[in-house]
Structure 1
Amino acid sequence: MDLDPATLPYRPCAGFMLVNSERRVFVGERINPKAHGYWQMPQGGIDPGEDPHTAALRELEEETGIGPELVDVVAPASEPLHYDLPLDLVGNVWKGKYRGQIQHWYLGRFKGDDAAINLEAHDPAEFRAYQWVEPEALPDLIIPFKRGVYTALVKQFLPLI
């Protein structure tokens, strides 16, 4: 079956750039073997009827164990950002229903400490490990097809960090 990605919609998604007191950003290393060695910020699909802000905080808690009571939301991104999947992944990821994701991002400050982080807070877990990194390092850590989104986020959020 030939799948034309241009005919597919983007999957609605929300993500969270969490910054600690040292102005470093949380990233987790994906468990998925195909993404081994790549790190990303917490993010995931928006459920039907869910607003992006709620989804971003839910994904943050599911993937890190960090609840909304430990976060001060600073700002949303000025507009949703999107990426396209590589052609070889379009028919395999999300059962071939989407060409990529349109992502609503939020910046927030972490009010807790690392003891609050629980990568197994949700089953299945998304991350095998985490680290706090300089914001400027983010684009080099993410899987290549998402680098444009991370570059745009760093440019937009860096003055607020």
Structure 2
Amino acid sequence: MADHPTHRPNVGVVLFNQSGQVWFGHRAGQTSSHSWQFPQGGVDKGEDLEAAARRELEEETGVVSADLLGRTEGWIIYDFPEALKAQHKRDGRKPWDGQKQVWFAFRFTGEEAEIRLDQHEEIEFDAWRWGDLSEACDLIVPFKRAAYEQVVAAFSGFAKAPG
């Protein structure tokens, strides 16, 4: 994780259903039209990246029934806007320049009743829906768009029903 030392190590998850659609979560308390995203979160020191992805998926969505489809190689990087960096500093957070991410694609194998947004004390999402992978770049906050373009390109082959 020595590459890009000023960027927070992070994992992201694209969860595909049996029809090839992807899971989008609406960020809790946000009102912007760019408030939908995939689950993502920080990697604990020494934590295996796939284990971190599965932990974040469970914490943010309740989902544990998921088969690994693939992952991105290397880091996908994005920078925080200056206003967000300033907010993090005011909040006493470590002053990261942005995030470096490895993304994982999983196929959801459970029932939708398994999806629970209240599995963790910090609620990340207040709503969710299935949608097309091609929608992702239009739903995400603009500063993450280039990263999402890379994720969409990497995982587009999974955006169809298996079989």
Question: Taking structure 1 as the reference length, what is the TM-score of the superposition?
Answer: 0.88
Distance verdict in 2 for CA 1:99–1:81, change over 3 Å: same
Query: 1:160, CA displacement in angstroms?
Result: 3.2
Aligned partner letter, 2:10: C
Q: Which amino acid aligns with 2:86?
A: G
8 Å Cα contact 1:30/1:37 also seen in 2: no
Q: 1:35 to 1:13 in 2, by over 3 A?
A: farther
Q: Which structure 1 residue ranges, 4+ long, deviate > 4 Å from structure 2?
A: 34-37
State how many pairs are aligned: 153
The 3 A distance-change label for structure 1 pair 32 and 11 is farther
CA distance in 1: counterparts of 2:5 and 2:85, whole angstroms: 9
The CA distance in 1 between the partners of 2:97 and 2:33, in whole Å, is 22
Could you tell me the TM-score, scaled by structure 2's length? 0.87
Structure 1, unaligned runs of 5 or more: 1-6
Q: CA deviation at 1:97?
A: 1.8
User: Over aligned residues, Cα RMSD in angstroms?
Assistant: 1.8
The structure in which a higher percent of residues are helix is: 1
Is the CA contact 1:30–1:36 (under 8 Å) kept in the aligned structure 2? no
Q: Which residue of 2 aligns with 1:76?
A: 71
CA contact (8 A) 1:18 1:108 kept: yes
Deviation at 1:91, TM superposition (A): 2.3
The CA distance in 2 between the partners of 1:37 and 1:78, in whole Å, is: 26
Equivalent residue runs for 1:24-63 within 5 Å: 24-33=21-30, 37-63=34-60
Relative distance call for 1:58 and 1:36 in structure 2 (3 A) is: farther
Structure 2 runs not aligned, ≥5 long: none
Decide which moves more: 37-46 or 7-16.
7-16
Identity %: 38
Question: Which residue of 2 is the match for residue 110 of structure 1?
Answer: 108
When residues 83 and 34 of structure 1 are mapped into structure 2, their CA distance, relative to the original with a 3 A threshold, is farther
Contact (CA 8 Å) 2:26, 2:128: kept in 1 or not?
yes
Could you tell which deviates more after superposition, 31-40 or 48-57? 31-40
